[in-house]
């Protein structure tokens, strides 16, 4: 699949800070986080949403089923 949004080549201090949070939460930088790093507030919001979902009471398996189902519904191939 062709990448449509280029990754940020050089992180600003704000981008670097949010990317460090990404690495801590998700174990490393991801292509999607690189794309969202163009707007650190967006990436920070996604991380906040992810943290809220972790505290939702849903099991990790249920959260993964939801993610996969949404990917299928949205036609995601990634």
Burial class (CB in 10 A: 0-12, 13-18, 19+), 12: exposed
Quick check: is 5 in a domain? no
Q: Which residue matches tokens 């949010």?
A: 18
Quick check: is 48 in a domain? yes
Q: How many domains does the chain have?
A: 1
Quick check: is 64 in a domain? yes
Phi and psi torsions of 4, nearest 5°: -95, -30
17-34 pLDDT, tens per residue?
888 888 998 888 888 888
- Looking at every residue in the chain, the average pLDDT score rounds to 86
Which residues constitute the domain of residue 52? 13-73
Quick check: is 35 in a domain? yes
Question: Which ranges of the chain would DSSP assign to H, the alpha helix?
Answer: 13-26, 31-36, 40-54, 60-73
26-62 pLDDT, tens per residue?
888 888 888 888 898 999 999 998 889 889 999 989 9
Quick check: is 8 in a domain? no
Q: Is the pTM of this model over 0.75?
A: no
The 3-state DSSP class for residue 44 equals: helix
């Amino acid at each position: 699949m062709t990448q449509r949004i280029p990754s940020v080549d050089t992180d600003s201090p704000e981008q670097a800070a949010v990317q460090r949070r990404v690495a801590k939460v998700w174990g490393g930088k991801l292509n999607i986080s690189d794309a969202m790093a163009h707007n650190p507030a967006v990436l920070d919001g996604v991380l906040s949403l992810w943290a809220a979902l972790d505290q939702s009471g849903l099991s990790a398996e249920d959260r993964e089923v939801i993610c996969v189902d949404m990917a299928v519904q949205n036609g995601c191939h990634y």
